[in-house]
Structures are given as structure tokens and as C-alpha cells.
Structure 1
Amino acid sequence: MVDVNEVAVVVAHQERATLRVGDVFLKVDADQTRTDVEVEAMALAPIPTPQVLWRKPPVLALAALSGTALGRLGVPATASPAAWAAAGAAVRRLHDAPLPPWPGRSLDEIASRLDDECEWLVTNGVLPIDLITRNRQVAEAALRPWTPVFTHGDLQIAHVFVDGDEITGVVDWSEAGRGDALYDLASLTLGHERHLGDVVAGYGTEVDLDVIRAWWSVRSLLAIRWLVEHDFDPFSPGCEVDVLRSRL
């Protein structure tokens, strides 16, 4: 590794941490099962991913991607419509690929966890009951049988890198598995609804927009407790709580 001037902490909490050292990302994860999934998923995915430089548990070293993140939750996105469409096209290539050999989360598992999280939000007075109730109703549209595809599983816009209008790679594959295609599309557009049309145009096939919106509610309801407990702020403008409020 060449000499570097600084070490940047990308993200750090009790479960894992990611550091940037020059052009190398060092991911430290207490659960090596997640790292196993990440490495295998990147090897199987038919879209650009970071190069694995080395792995010495609990550390995984990845080469940095060129370009910048497509955007951030809570921050107005400046990427072009063509870049969003390119992201949609990349997601379609992933979904058209052969299924990974390991399963994803089941419908029953998601529904059960969603009920638990809603109960926690009510019990602890985190959100108004009418806001939780309305979004739990909206979420029901997502809780239907789906044909499983190869999904990224955590396809937030910060995980998609672009250079101009071109996708240079997708990072953070530890949640990859068999899942609902529309969940990936919802994750990509969470908090950036105005770009949904660009993503769907790039995806290249008709999708049920109501189901995508339902997944926005599911993802936000499921995330809030974890975010609060790990010192992130879902109440920041444009983030998860605002996504839930937009359903009212």
C-alpha cells in the first residue's frame, strides 16, 4: 500500500466499521457470515463491483471505485436523469442474473419483524400512532408473494457509484440474496421519489409503483429503531420519518 496522509472513518457502529485508507476500503465486521455473502455476491453479480484486494478476518480490503455516490438520503440529488436511468438498467441486469445459491428473507419473516417494529415504535412513543398505522396499511401492498430474483438487498443510493452518466460500481453486498425486485428499486429511490420515473425507465419493464411505495414504508418502519440505537438520526430532513410522513 502506498503512503497515505490520513485514515477516514466512513461508517462505524457496534456491528461493523468501514475505513478508507488511500484508495483502499477496510471493512471490519464482527459477523463473518455477512462478509462471506458480500464476497460471493460480488463474484456472482453481472454489474461492476469493488475489487477484493485481500481478506484477513475480520477485515476485508476492497479497492475504491471511481466516481461518486449517486446521492445521499436526506440530501437533494444532483446526478443527471441519465445516471439514475443507468442505475435502473444496472439493477435490471442484476435481477436477470441466475439466483444466488443462498436464500433471502421470507415474506413471513419480513411481516413478523414489521409488526414487532411497529409495536416498538408505539410502545416507546417514537412516532405518532396515526403515522405508524397509516404506513403499516400502506406497507401491506408489499407483503405479497413475489418471484425471487438476485437482489442487492440494501441498494440505497449511497451504495451506487457513478462517473457522469455511467455506473462505475455498486458496494455493500452483505444483504444480497433472493428477494423481491421491487424492494431493490424502492431502496434505490427511498427519499428521492422524483427520480423514480428515471430509474423505472432505465429498468426497462413495467413495475407496480404502489408496491414500490409500500416498500418505502416497510423499509422506513424497519429501520428507525436500528438507526436510533446506533446513533443515526431518522428524523433528519428527507430521511426515514419524512418518508413515512409523505404517505399521509
Structure 2
Amino acid sequence: MNSLFTALIAKRIVATVSALLVVAIGCSAGIWQLSRAETKIALAANLLARQKMPILSANAGPLTLEEASERRMIARGQYIPESAIWLDNRPRPIPPGGSTTAQSGFYLMMPLRLEGKDGILWVNRGWAPRNNENRETLPPVQTPNKVVNIEGIVFAHPGRVFELGSKKIAEAVSGPRIEQNFDLTAEGKLHSWNQAPFILREVEVGTEDGLLRDWAPLTSGVDRHYAYAFQWFALAFAGFLFWLVTGLRQFKRRGFVNGDQG
């Protein structure tokens, strides 16, 4: 009489190893997705804590990236629109209500000449949609021709997208440029500016300048990670269940055959 162990494992080595691989891969991927979700939650909590610290002033004095990173900051100065950089292939931070399709557009990076000091602060002013008929046509945006006060959150960079090769910035700059990524160091060398070692992502909403600043929270995507984790764990369970059911069927079938021969 065949034992259950023999029917499930000893006579099904290949099936058992395959099932173990499916279970191991599914569980590992599920745990990794849960880890990604927890990391995003922790980053969001850290960002919120830093934003509750006293608001910094870009005009008060030089600050390092470590001192200012992820903190709220105010700045007073005048924009230099002719040196603006439009970062291409940037999805709308928060899609319109009910929409599941990401709308492509630009982030507008513009230097702000700080009032009362010889310094430049690069500002991510917001997002604007791309012209689908002519991708070289820049969105209409209003830029005040006067000293302005802005408020935002400090980041090391505005985010990066995949780019083939390394593109060198031309020496002669005649106006706004469309780029894939923003290199703060390279821009400082190009213009010979005394720049802050960070960028400021503007947070003011309601300003009618043609830009959107409804920035997605850092926890965006957490639900997706949980959904992916559930799918991976479900795959692991399905693999184990398939192995168990097929093994039990074979065990019963062999027991029936042995009973007939007896």
C-alpha cells in the first residue's frame, strides 16, 4: 500500500520541486512588494515630520542640501524665464477624477534670482500638458515680470526619467529648452551662477498661471503594492494547492488500482 508521503513527494520529485519554486518565488515577490509599500509609508512619514519643522528662508543665508532637504521654504525674487527648462515625459501628478490614463506633459523648471543676494534658486513651478499635435510647442504659461514670493518644499532634484546616453548642454543658450532630465550642477556651470544646491518645488495652488501643482503624495502607489503582493501570494498558494490536489488524486487512483488487483 502506497503511503501518502510516497504518493505526494517520493514519486513526484519534478512536480514537488516545481511547486516549491513557485511557492518560493511567489512568497519572495509578495514580501518584496510589502517592503516597498512600507518604505513608501516610512518616507511619507519622514517627509511630513520635516515639513512640520520651522519654515526656512532662501533669502536668509546659504543652506546645504542636508539642512534643507524635504523642508518647507519661502523665497523672494524674480524669475528668469529665458533660461527656463521644460522637462519632458512627465505624467500629470494626480490624474483627473475617474481617469486611469496618465497624461503626459512637462515640469517647468525656472531659475529665480533671489532678492538681496547674489544667488539663484531653481524652482519647479508645476506641470503643464503637452501639445499632442506638435510636441515642440510649449504650453502657454504666465510668468510675473516682478518680484514674487513663493513657497515650496526642498528636494535634491525634480525626479528623473530614463534617458538614452548622456546629453551635453550647449554652451550658447538662446531661450527655454526642452530636456529629459535636469542637472543642477551642469546648469550652474553653464550660466556661471551661484546656485542653491537644491531645487524648490512650488506648492501654491489656485494661481492662474497655466500650471498644475497638485503633487501626488509619496504614499501614492501603496495600494498597488498591496495588490501586487496579494497576487504573488495567491500565485504561491495556487501552486501549492495544485501540487496537493494532483498528488491526492494520484494517491487515490493508485489505491483504487491496488484494491482491484487484490
Question: Same fold by TM-score, threshold 0.5 exceeded?
Answer: no
TM-score, length of structure 1 as denominator length: 0.20
- Report the structure, 1 or 2, having the larger helix content: 1
TM-score, length of structure 2 as denominator length: 0.20
Task: Tell which has more relative contact order, 1 or 2 (C-alpha 8 A, sep 6+).
Answer: 2
Is the radius of gyration larger for structure 1 or structure 2?
Answer: 2
